[in-house]
Structure 1
Amino acid sequence: MTITDFLSQLRSHADKPVRFLLPDGGLIPAHFHITEVGHVLKRFIDCGGTRRTLETCLLQTWVHDDLDHRLMADKLAMIFDKAGDVLPHHDLPVEIEYEDGVVAQFPVESAEIIDGMLVFRCGWKHTDCLARGICLPGECCTTPEPAAKAVPATCCTPGSKCC
């Protein structure tokens, strides 16, 4: 879900409390706070030598001992409004950061009204090899991305050290 979609949901259901449903079926506790609205820009090079970027809007949640706290949709929309130029555009995907033993990030996938609350469903993030044609046996002969180096014909032979 992009920032545009996220804000549309918030503004369409301004009077509703906001909840986040985690991919395992659990909910972030109802008394969470949003402590950061951030623009995260990750620049990296994959194992095949291709330079890449990944951008997201990351909302950091924090759970404190103020059990009566509830974040309403209109208040979260106002927090976004204060973010201003921190967010370069509203086509960024929205992710939630939540700590429950470990800090994890979850992409926001959809929204629905459940029991009078605006519930955002979160999904899992996964790791992946972005240069499979170079690194994985049997996938050597796939066409590399235009920015990638040419793949040697022997890259997937035993002992070739393709990675």
Structure 2
Amino acid sequence: MKLSEVKAVLANLDRVDFQFEDGTFVAEHFHITEVGQVTKKYIDCGGTIREEVKVNFQLWNADDYEHRLKAGKLLNIIRLSETKLGIVDAEIEVEVQGKETIGKYFLAFNGTHFLLKNTLTACLAEDACGITPSKQATPTSCCDLNAGCC
């Protein structure tokens, strides 16, 4: 979901809920501690230089169980970030504190609440590494010194 889509959804919501793919919800007393823009510039294992720009929301649970983030408040935080930080209309990535570490999720909306979609790693240069779906479990993949990449 892009930032513009989130803003359009928030304009028609009262409360904000986030649900994981397993059906559980982020505690309703969460805070959004950060709204920001993250730029990542990197080189993949095939030698291609890439750049990603994402809008980042960071969710945090505190001990203030009476806290409830309203949609209008989040919309105001987003507008302030656009004005003060120059945030662009990019895909949203949501960070949520798990039991042991921070998880990163893509964002979707199901008509009622926001869905936290699991993220996965992937080889971005499969053609350079010779990876096909049938070869993905084979040890001679992208990290093999004879594979022509990495």
Q: Which amino acid aligns with 2:57?
A: L
Aligned length: 138
- d(CA) in 1 for partners of 2:59, 2:20: 13
With over 3 angstroms needed to count, the CA separation of the structure-2 counterparts of 1:10 and 1:159, relative to structure 1, is: closer
Report the CA distance between 1:24 and its aligned residue.
2.0
1:21-47 superposed Cα distances (whole Å, 9 cap, x missing partner):
112221110000001001010000000
Q: Return closer, same or farther for 1:159/1:54 CA change in 2, 3 Å cut-off.
A: closer
Q: Are the aligned partners of 2:126 and 2:132 in contact in 1 as well (CA < 8 Å)?
A: no
Aligned twin of 1:112: 111
> For residues 25 and 44 of structure 1, do their structure 2 counterparts lie closer, same or farther at Cα, with a shift above 3 Å needed?
same
Summarize the Cα distance change of 1:48–1:71 in structure 2 as closer, same or farther, 3 Å threshold: same
Residue ranges of structure 2 left out of the alignment (5+ in a row): 134-141
Give aligned-pair identity as a percent. 32
Using a 3 Å threshold, how does the CA distance of structure 1 residues 160 and 57 change in structure 2: closer, same or farther? same
Contact residue 62 and residue 98 of structure 1 kept, 8 A? yes
Structure ID, larger Rg: 1
Question: Partner letter of residue 125 of structure 2?
Answer: A
SS of alignment partner, residue 67 of structure 2:
coil
Write the deviation string for residues 115-137 of structure 1: whole angstroms up to 9, x where unpaired.
xxxx1012111111111111135
Q: Distance in 1 between matches of 2:69 and 2:132?
A: 50
Q: 1:98 to 1:54 in 2, by over 3 A?
A: same
- Structure 1 moving runs of 4+ over 6 Å: none
In the aligned structure 1, how far is the partner of 2:105 from the partner of 2:71?
Answer: 19
Q: Secondary structure at the match of 1:89?
A: coil
Equivalent residue, structure 1, for 2:138:
none
